[in-house]
Amino acid sequence: MTEPKLRLDRGKQFSECHGERTPDDPHYRVVHWQGGKMGGHVILLPFDAQDNLIEDDGKTEPFEGMGLDKNGNPVTVKYQPLYSPGMRRFLAAKTARVKAQEEQRAKTSAEDFGLEDEEGADEFSDSLGATPGGGVDLAAWLKGEQRYQPHQIRNAVRDKFHKNVSAQSIPQIVVDLVLDENVVDESALAPQFLKMLPPAENRASAG
């Protein structure tokens, strides 16, 4: 599994970086700062205009480069490295946590939900083609005959039944497809999906 690419989370607090800089300045590409707490300290990481993490350049000592004085004239400036030891520790911990979450999510999907665990698949894609369902056979998936990426299942349900399922878990979608939409008979369900349905007596009392 490749290392996860960290991006700015616009759903959480972040700050902006302004000012005119020269290419020698380690902050030249920095547009946003975002991070968290580690060891009781707030640690921020740099992100560029496309919300991508600006990677560590490996510098550990102050260095000289071209800068600008208060009048905008070029001068030689001593810069500090973009990354501090604390930032490196924070980034390593965050990367490890994200990687572990992705591996667990992939493992759970592949083993329990009949989903693909295809390395390099675009899990954030929001388009499967012009035809409803994008070619996904929901009945075959529920029977355990086909495997798809999570986003393919959600997009297929959205397109075919005109439902917003972006916030629903796979078990919720299975229940909806079987009990509400009657995509397949309960007796035809693959074992991993059958166990996601509520007990029959609970369904009867609820109705």
Indicate whether 163 pLDDT > 90.
no
Average confidence (pLDDT) over 156-185: 90
Indicate whether 148 pLDDT > 90.
no
Q: pTM of the predicted model, to two decimals?
A: 0.53
Report phi then psi at 165, rounded to 5.
-115, 20
pLDDT for position 206: 38
Contact 138, 153 (CB under 8 A): yes
Indicate whether 134 pLDDT > 80.
no
Residue 75: helix, strand or coil by DSSP? strand
Contact 156, 133 (CB under 8 A): yes
Higher pLDDT, 66 or 134: 66
Residue 65: helix, strand or coil by DSSP? strand
pLDDT for position 2: 65
pLDDT for position 107: 61
Average confidence (pLDDT) over 18-39: 92
Mean residue pLDDT across the chain: 82
Report phi then psi at 7, rounded to 5.
-130, 160
Q: What ranges do the domains of the chain cover? A: 15-109, 132-206
14-18, 40-44, 74-78, 163-167: least confident range: 163-167
Residue 66: helix, strand or coil by DSSP? strand
pLDDT for position 129: 32
Tell me how far apart the alpha carbons of residues 134 and 146 are, in angstroms, rounded to a whole number: 14
Which residue is listed with tokens 């004085």?
Answer: 69
Residue 199: helix, strand or coil by DSSP? coil
Bridge-partner residues for 79, per DSSP? 63
Bridge-partner residues for 53, per DSSP? 47
pLDDT for position 108: 56
Other CB atoms within 10 Å distance of the CB of residue 115: 21
Structure tokens at 5: 């690419």
- Report which secondary-structure segment, H or E, holds 20: none
